[in-house]
Amino acid sequence: MEHNLPGAVDLAEYLVDLSNVVRDRSLGRPGARSLHRFRLVVRALVHLTGDPEVPVYPVADKSLLGGAREFTDPGDVVVLRRWIEEGLVEEVGDADRRILELMEMTSATPTRAVTGDLLTGHRRDFPWIQGNTDRFLKPVAETSGSVRLVPLDMGVRTEAEISRSDELAAFKKQGLLKTSQQPLSAVINRFWRCPERRCSLYDPRSGRVLLPRMQRGVPTCEVHGRALADAGPRPAMAQLKAMVSGTCAGRYTVEEGSRTGVGRNPTGGIALYDVLTPQVAARVSREHVVVSTTDGILLVRDVSTYGTRMRTAGRRGRLGPWEQLPPHQDRRFAPGDEVELAPGVVLTRSGRRFPAELAAAWQAGAVGTPAPPEASMPTSLR
């Protein structure tokens, strides 16, 4: 099979997300990781193209070999290390991003990629993924034990789904996900302090607090490599985004237990005047809506002169019709919902949830309809 690995991307006709394939338990032999699954994919490409020499360029996350003990066959580890040393496999920190970068580089003569990942978290940086049906192939197991490659319809993901995927990727990068893909809430819901006196990466007074990196089960400073000290509970937060003419004009955090006015120029709240044209600003009240929390649930109230509309997101993030908000009445403001202050001026929530919202989602999943994977996302990432 090595004759199918040219070791240069400009010679390849297909890219393969090696980490995704090797970890796909639905393919080939049982076990957490198996290089045999990649061999099945190469055979499937040979069958698809009719070319026994079809050139393939595999890209792997560094974490693939980091979990060497999970390979069913120890010989796979030896082979994979040799391939990386000889340049037959490219090893990077983020295989998904690298594959997408390579696909953009070859857009004149499009290279297709083999993966089972829908790449939701990369759609802001690579908007051409949205709705794509011809540049990705998904490996599917056959009853015979072989693999068949089928076109992967990437579909269109909502802003809320993309936001939630972004958070999951951030947790994964820092080692803050359990094997069940649930975040380590005991770490994420705390502030941390680096023993290096001049380090402010984790200081809440610095405005933006970095997530700790887990190393051997211990929260560790990203820069100094030292174990972090627990600095107390981190208040829950949600993120609001102001969208003006479809473009994000600002991001704002709202703490649990707070009351925040949003409008043209509210006192001590979120002022949008600087991101609006004078004509649009004239249609936004000085304090247009008030965002607050009650028992961990985010609420929005119309206090404007001109009126406010709202549309809510379903379980998969699909938006319903616009509805007029009744004035001076609180309305639940969930992740993915949109509040329109004026035509083209929309306030929306990211995918982050307050703990009470998470608990409600978990309860709903236990009682009846399973909660979507993103329901396990905490809101304490700032």
* pTM reported for the whole predicted model: 0.58
Per-chain mean pLDDT for the chain? 83
Phi, psi for 224 (deg, rounded to 5): -95, -10
pLDDT tens by residue, 262-272: 999 998 889 99
> Which range marks the domain in which residue 182 is found?
159-233
Q: Are strands 297-302 and 330-332 parallel, antiparallel or unpaired?
A: antiparallel
Residues in the chain: 382
The pLDDT of residue 370 is above 70: no
In 80-193, which ranges are E strands?
90-92, 112-114, 136-141, 147-151, 190-193
Is the pLDDT confidence value at 356 over 60?
no
Question: Which CATH number goes with the domain that contains 317?
Answer: 2.60.200.20
Specify which of 52-66, 197-211, 238-252 reaches the highest per-range mean pLDDT.
52-66
Is 116 domain-assigned? Answer: yes
What is the pLDDT at residue 351?
A: 53
Task: Give yes or no for residue 325 having a pLDDT over 80.
Answer: yes
Phi, psi of 22 (to 5 degrees): -65, -30
Residue 217 belongs to some domain of the structure: yes
- Which of 103, 123, 151 is where one domain is finished? 151
Q: Is the pLDDT of residue 204 over 70?
A: no
pLDDT of residue 116: 93
- Domain match, 91 and 61 both: yes
Report pLDDT for 107: 59
Residue 140 in any domain: the answer is yes
Write down the residue that tokens 């102001």 correspond to.
Answer: 242
Between 301 and 258, the higher pLDDT residue: 301
91 with 104, same domain: the answer is yes
pLDDT score of 360 more than 70 = no
Q: Do residues 180 and 250 share a domain?
A: no
pLDDT digits (tens, 9 = 90+) for 100-140: 999 988 655 568 999 999 998 888 889 999 999 999 999 99
On whether both 138 and 6 belong to a single domain, the answer is yes
Q: Which residue has the higher pLDDT, 325 or 318?
A: 325
Tell me how many domains the chain contains.
Answer: 3
Nearest alpha-carbon partner for 253 in 180, 350, 113 = 350
> Is the model's pLDDT at 336 over the cut of 50?
yes
Do 50 and 140 lie in one domain? The reply is yes
Structure tokens at 165: 């995927």
User: For residue 371, is pLDDT > 60?
Assistant: no
